[in-house]
Amino acid sequence: MPKEIERKFLVITNAWCNKTENKTPMRQGYVRAIDCTVRVRIAETTGYLTIKGRTENFTRDEYEYEIPLQDAEEMLNNLCHGGSVEKFRYKVIVDGNEWVIDEFTGLNRGLIMAEIELNSETQSFSTPEWLGEEVSHDSRYTNGALAMKPYSTWE
């Protein structure tokens, strides 16, 4: 069974910007589900359907499948109620580990987060100087929550 082990942090400076070479636009939405998260994503011109189980500590089951772009667009428009998340994604290598930086746009503009996927919950990693508070266990920072209650609406 595929597992996702992920740690998530706020980004507090733009020192990471000169370390990246790529920028991928993304739009994603969520289908209502009870015991899992169902995400539809378009990354550039590719569609994806992802199903994620409940998180225990930093780990959860994850299944991701490439789907036709037209299907992804229809799902985002017809099945994903409650808003969507738009962002640019960057990848940065730090001490041999890949960090994913999400710079949110639209109603989540101003929020920048960094994620690292690990092979085990006990795997050590260095924390770059541009990282701030860890928000791995703060449900407000999940993309699904940001689609429902955007960052710009927080008090």
The tens digit of pLDDT for each residue in 26-56 reads: 999 999 888 899 999 999 999 999 999 999 9
CA distances from 136 to 35, 123, 131, 132, 155 (A): 19, 15, 13, 12, 20
What is the pLDDT, as a whole number, of residue 13?
Answer: 92
Give the CATH fold of the 3-153 domain: Hypothetical Protein Pfu-838710-001 (2.40.320)
Q: Using CA of residue 120, residue 127, residue 112, residue 138, what is the dihedral sign?
A: positive
What residues are labeled active site?
A: 30
17: confidence class by pLDDT, cuts 50, 70, 90: confident
Residue the block writes with tokens 């400076």: 13
Give every CB contact of residue 31 below 8 A, 6+ residues apart in sequence. Answer: 38, 39, 40, 75, 79, 80
Q: Is the pLDDT of residue 18 over 90?
A: no
Q: Do 74 and 21 meet the contact criterion of CB atoms below 8 Å apart? A: no
The tens digit of pLDDT for each residue in 95-133 reads: 999 999 999 999 999 999 999 999 999 999 999 999 999
81: confidence class by pLDDT, cuts 50, 70, 90: confident
Q: Do 114 and 133 meet the contact criterion of CB atoms below 8 Å apart? A: no
